[in-house]
Amino acid sequence: MNTIERADVQSVLAQMRTMREAAQGAMLDAMHTPDQATTSQPIQKSDFGTTLRTAIDQVNSTQLQSSALTNSFIRGETDDLVKVMITAQKSNVAFQAITQVRNRLVTAYQDIMNMPI
């Protein structure tokens, strides 16, 4: 494994650690801060549709990148099989995650539709 892949893997691990620490810090901050109703800070709202569209676009770009890298490997333009495989796995994991989100949304919709009035 050459240094580019190690740097890529190390950067992904560093990002994961940073996100975990940020999430843990946010939980601790939430436990020690008063309710939002008593604070004067405005609450930032994000549109669910926009967030979902952004996630889908990111998965799509990951898949396009993986496809382009795979095709360049097949054509012989690159010989970095490790990078091709890592990109393919990232694409696969992203697709599986977005599929699970879709499945949970469909299940939630069905549960709501089956509620008695």
Q: How confident is the model at residue 48 (pLDDT cuts 50, 70, 90)?
A: confident
Do the Cβ atoms of 94 and 58 come closer than 8 Å? yes
| Residue 115, helix vs strand vs coil | coil
Give pLDDT, residue 96.
95
Burial class (CB in 10 A: 0-12, 13-18, 19+), 87: buried
Give pLDDT, residue 9.
75
Give pLDDT, residue 107.
95
**Residue length of the chain:** 117
Do the Cβ atoms of 84 and 69 come closer than 8 Å? yes
Position 108 pLDDT exceeds 90: yes
Convert the pLDDT of each residue in 59-107 to its tens digit.
999 999 999 999 999 999 988 999 999 999 999 999 999 999 999 999 9
Convert the pLDDT of each residue in 17-34 to its tens digit.
777 777 777 655 655 555
Quick count: other Cβ atoms within 10 Å of Cβ 22?
10
Domain boundaries, the chain: 1-36, 46-117
Residue 33 CA to residue 43 CA, distance in Å, equals: 14
Give pLDDT, residue 35.
52
Per-residue DSSP letter, 87:
H
